[in-house]
Amino acid sequence: MTKKRKRAGPGQPSRYTKAAAARICDLIIEGKTLRQIAATEGMPSIPSIYRWMEAHPEFREQYARAKDIQTEILVDEIRTIAFDGSMDVEEREDRNGNTYEVTRQDVVQRSKLMVDAIKWQASKLKPKKYGDKLDLNHSGKVETSTPTLRISSTVPKPDGK
C-alpha cells in the first residue's frame, strides 16, 4: 500500500523552479511581502526563498530587480495617497438639522502614516535615490560669529548715569 502524499500547503514546496522564482518576483512587484508570499498555497517558505537566492544567482538578480520595481511602484503610490482627500471630510448634522463638514483627523493621520512608512521603506531599499542627502563637503574653513550684545536703554550704563 502506498502512502498518500499530503497536498502542498503554505510554505511548500522547497524545490527551486524558474517558474516559481518568476511567480515570487511577480508577487513582489505587486506589493506582496515575503510573509504573504510564503503563506500562499504552493509557495515556498521564507527560509527556502532565501536559500534559493543563495544557491541561484539568476534568482537573486531577478529578486533584486523585483524589489527595485516594487519600490518605484510604492513611491508612485505616495501621490495617490497624498492627493486622495475623498475620505478626509465628513458631513455632520447639528441639532437644528443644519449640515456642516468636519475634517476626519483619523483618516488624515492614517494617510500621513502610510506616506511616511513608504518613504522610510524607499529610503532603505534605494538609499542613493530616496535616502536622506548628507552634505559631507567641507571647505576647510571654520566660520564663527560673535553674538552681538545689545544694551537696552533701561539698563544703567557702566558709568552709573
The pLDDT tens digits for 24-61 are 999 999 999 999 999 999 999 999 999 999 999 999 99
pLDDT of residue 25: 97
Dihedral Cα 110, 116, 118, 119, nearest 10 deg: 160
**Per-residue model confidence (pLDDT) at position 135:** 64
Mean pLDDT of 12-26: 88
CA dist., res. 61 & res. 38, Å (int): 20
pLDDT at 36: 97
Q: pLDDT of 87-133, one tens digit each?
A: 899 999 999 999 999 999 999 999 999 999 999 988 988 888 888 87
In terms of C-beta density within 10 A (0-12 exposed, 13-18 middle, 19 or more buried), how is residue 84 classed? exposed
Grid coordinates representing 11? 510554505
Is 49 exposed, middle or buried (CB count within 10 Å of its CB: 0-12, 13-18, 19+)? Answer: buried
C-beta separation of 78 from 44 below 8 A: no
Query: How many residues make up the chain in this entry?
Result: 161
**pLDDT value at position 153?**
52
Q: What's this model's pTM, rounded to 2 decimal places?
A: 0.64
- Residue 48 CB coordination number (10 Å): 18
Q: Reply yes or no on whether the pLDDT at 155 is more than 70.
A: no
- The pLDDT value given to residue 5: 42
Whether pLDDT at 12 is above 60: no
State the pLDDT at residue 94.
93
Q: What amino acid is encoded at 136 in this protein?
A: L
- DSSP 8-class letter at 32: -
The predicted structure's pLDDT at residue 65 = 96
Helix-then-strand count for the chain, H and E: 6, 2
pLDDT attached to residue 24 = 97
Higher pLDDT, 138 or 87: 87
CA–CA separation, 66 and 25 (whole Å): 6
